[in-house]
Homo-oligomer: A and B are copies of this chain.
Amino acid sequence: MSRGNTGVTSQVVNAHACPVREVLDRVAGKWSVLILVAAAHGPIRFTELERSIEGISRRMLTLTLRNLERDGLVTRTVHATVPPKVEYALTPVAQELHASLLGLTDWAERHRVTIAESRAAYDARHEPGHTDV
């Protein structure tokens, strides 16, 4: 505050220091949350995940699971049977996260319509050939 400004102390925000961004970097991937949701009910097998999550590829399922495992959000349990059986389960930490996400879910559902309208209006305003005002 060494320089007299407008009065609002616009404090510096650092991307690396911001905790929200940390979570997002972890969860923002297209599939991460979907996996968290699908696994929230209890341990679930690879193929079950694959079928539960609409549109996910084998590759992305594997990659995302690996990342979640790395962060300690899911556990991977291999049952040495034939055929192989691998179960994925949320860790307590991930379950807490899942709970925190409910706040966002709630927000999304309360405002999804408003936002859609806002978009439509904005797009209309900026369409090629709007008469403005």
The interface of chain A, by Cβ under 8 A from chain B, is 8-16, 18-24, 26-28, 30-31, 33-34, 37-38, 41-44, 48-49, 51-55, 69-72, 93, 96-97, 100-101, 103-112, 114-115, 117-119, 122-123
Asked whether, in the complex, the Cβ of A123 is within 8 Å of the Cβ of B14, the reply is no
Residues on the B chain within 8 Å of A43, using CB: 8
Chain A interface, >50% SS class: helix
Residues on the B chain within 8 Å of A93, using CB: 111, 114-115
Asked whether, in the complex, the Cβ of B115 is within 8 Å of the Cβ of A71, the reply is yes
Asked whether, in the complex, the Cβ of B13 is within 8 Å of the Cβ of A54, the reply is yes
Asked whether, in the complex, the Cβ of B115 is within 8 Å of the Cβ of A107, the reply is no
Asked whether, in the complex, the Cβ of A30 is within 8 Å of the Cβ of B15, the reply is yes
Residues on the B chain within 8 Å of A105, using CB: 19-20, 23
Residues on the B chain within 8 Å of A72, using CB: 114-115, 117-119, 122
